[in-house]
Amino acid sequence: MLHPTRRLLRHSLTSGRQPRVSVSQPTPYSWVASDGLLEAEVKAYRASTCQSLVQRHIAIKENITYRHAPTTCSSAILKDFNSDYNATCVELLLHQGAAICGQTKMDEFGMGSNTTHLPEGYTPVYNPGGPVDDDAPRSVGGSSGGSAAAVAEGSCWAALGTDTGGSVRLPASYCGVVGLKPSYRLISRFGVVSYADSLDCVGILARDISIASQIFSTLNHPDPRDMTNVSSVTRQRAHALLVQHIEEIQRHGGPKGALQGYRIGIPNQTRLPSPHLTIPSELVSYLESQRATVVSVDIPSWTKTLPAYYVLASAEASSNLARYGGGFFGSAQPDGEEGRRRVRTEGFGREVKKRLLAGTYALSANQFDNTYLKALYLRRTLRREFDSIFRIPHPVRSYPSVYESAPNSDTTSSPPRPSSTSTATSAPDGVDVLLHPTAISTAPPLSKTLSSESEYAQDLLTVPASLGGLPCMSVPAGVGSDGWPIGMSVSSQWGMEQLVFDVGRVIEQWGKGQ
């Protein structure tokens, strides 16, 4: 079932008339609509046919600025905030003739895994991707659950989300669509509301990989307005490494196949016991039939990534969200500490408050060395482990030499500081991509109340790629025993999205036959 506004919107495109529709009551679906979006969509529909995305309807997550509609981040504290400019990713889509057809619901400020952390008046988003005879509403994942649901229900051609620790890939797996988290710093974040700056990425949700690839090509450009965005020189270096590696693969002898010469690694740490999801043996056999070599790899730090991720993300969020206090952002209140306290108490939801407190604690004087620095050390160790298993060297990484030892539990002393630098290297006998399930289970029922720990655990298999800054894509791979979609994640070295697409297309083909 489509949102009623969507029916009117489609009618306006086919008849040439432009209805003025206002949605006063939130719905259990994915959309947040406004008059401005309808006007912009009709204008984009009439764009020049020489543009590559003409007549393509694309939705955007509520934390991506769009000057025709409020940017609320699904939070009461930003309910009246209107941006006077578009995010770079939106501008790039509009320049190619795309129609921004709506905004989608999200967990407040991106903090959540089920799109249920919403302000008063909003309802959770229902998952449209399951069996038609299953009436029990299930989670769409989060925090980009609205975007995933909009794509899954066919309301738009594709959608933009944001991915900090799995916020695009987890919903994609639950809803049975493609979800791409590009390499960190590759797509501009200018105009995207920050959650955790060292992790945030603009992501893409689409019905298939060809669509995701086309949108990625549209967005993959340097942007001087984003100080973290990589330069053209870095992009050229990554492309040269990719071309060189593909040529080497093509020179590989033996029987021909779609994945001839590719080496696919399955992390031992992702082989979880029943009832958690695992890679189907039939999929492994199919990949091998396409002449890929499938091997096991060991990434020791993988099992420690979840707590490290939540320490880092919460710490950065506590800094980023400090700006919402009624001065420049948030509901206006009398000046002074009491007014600021009232704005934040009334404006932030329970989950956001919890993470802000956790982040403030991690950055406190008594816990900084023992908590925050340990998480930073774990991330650095994980990145070295990734570099040690990929055959392609990291195009940009140059980092301090490894610590002699990890920070100890003594909160009175700091960890040893690095004294020299070294460049990341590659493993000639390593792998090209990593493969593992995207989620530990299919979409959980919304009626099942998840504890905070259980909700955080849903990110167990998605946060390593985020901490590593790697490109990672969830690809539909059939359904589980309960008839609900499952997704397989493919990740590779930084900047090697093409390898992810190549392997993903083979998995996508296999999944369609299941």
191 touches 86 (CB < 8 A) = yes
pLDDT-derived band at 63, boundaries 50, 70, 90: very high
Average confidence (pLDDT) over 306-318: 98
pLDDT at residue 335 is higher than 90? no
Tell me whether residue 135 is in a domain: yes
Average confidence (pLDDT) over 271-288: 95
Q: 3-class SS at 57?
A: strand
Q: What is the pLDDT of residues 85-124, one digit of tens each?
A: 999 999 999 999 999 999 999 999 999 999 999 998 888 8
What is the spatial distance between Cα 460 and Cα 277, in angstroms, rounded to a whole number? 12
Q: In this predicted model, which residue has the larger pLDDT, 424 or 280? A: 280
Q: Which two tokens stand for residue 335?
A: 């000046």
pLDDT of residue 203: 99
Q: What is the pLDDT of residues 379-407, one digit of tens each?
A: 999 999 999 999 999 998 743 433 333 44
Which residue is catalytic, options 34, 139, 143, 213?
A: 143
Average confidence (pLDDT) over 71-80: 93
Q: 3-class SS at 161?
A: strand
Tell me whether residue 260 is in a domain: no
- Give me the helix-helix angle, 232-250 and 497-512, nearest 10°: 60
Q: Among 218-227, 312-321, 420-429, 473-482, which stretch is predicted with the lowest mean pLDDT?
A: 420-429
Tell me whether residue 72 is in a domain: yes
Which residue is catalytic, options 61, 105, 181, 374?
A: 61
DSSP secondary structure of 343-373: HHHHHS-HHHHHHHHHHHHHTSTTTIIIIIH
Tell me the percentage of the chain whose pLDDT exceeds 90: 71
Average confidence (pLDDT) over 18-39: 42
Total domains in the fold of the chain:
1
pLDDT of residue 94: 96
Torsion (CA) 151, 7, 22, 111 in degrees, nearest 10: -10
pLDDT at residue 26 is higher than 50? no
Q: What is the pLDDT of residues 185-227, one digit of tens each?
A: 999 999 999 999 999 999 999 999 999 999 999 999 999 999 9
Supply φ then ψ for residue 247, to 5 degrees.
-60, -40
Q: What is the pLDDT of residues 127-176, one digit of tens each?
A: 998 887 777 899 999 999 999 999 999 999 999 999 999 999 999 999 99
What is the spatial distance between Cα 302 and Cα 308, in angstroms, rounded to a whole number? 10
pLDDT of residue 399: 39
Tell me whether residue 424 is in a domain: no
Tell me whether residue 358 is in a domain: no
- Who contacts 242 (Cβ-Cβ below 8 Å, separation ≥6)? 392, 495, 496, 498, 499
pLDDT-derived band at 325, boundaries 50, 70, 90: confident
Average confidence (pLDDT) over 461-474: 99
pLDDT of residue 407: 42
pLDDT of residue 154: 94
What is the spatial distance between Cα 207 and Cα 393, in angstroms, rounded to a whole number? 31
What is the spatial distance between Cα 42 and Cα 482, in angstroms, rounded to a whole number? 41
Check if 52 is active-site.
no
Q: 3-class SS at 407?
A: coil
pLDDT of residue 162: 99
Check if 143 is active-site.
yes
pLDDT of residue 279: 97
pLDDT-derived band at 3, boundaries 50, 70, 90: very low
Q: Is 342 exposed, middle or buried (0-12, 13-18, 19+ CB in 10 A)?
A: middle
pLDDT-derived band at 424, boundaries 50, 70, 90: low
Tell me whether residue 50 is in a domain: yes
Q: Is 438 left (phi over 0), alpha (psi -120 to 50) or beta?
A: alpha
Q: In this predicted model, which residue has the larger pLDDT, 322 or 423? A: 322
Average confidence (pLDDT) over 411-420: 38
pLDDT-derived band at 40, boundaries 50, 70, 90: low
Check if 304 is active-site.
no
Which residue is catalytic, options 12, 113, 167, 194?
A: 167
The H or E element that residue 337 is part of is helix 337-347
Q: What's the mean per-residue pLDDT of the chain?
A: 85
DSSP-assigned beta bridge partners for residue 408: none
The H or E element that residue 58 is part of is strand 57-61
Q: CATH number for the domain including 147?
A: 3.90.1300.10
What residues make up the domain containing 137?
4-219
pLDDT of residue 492: 99
pLDDT of residue 8: 27
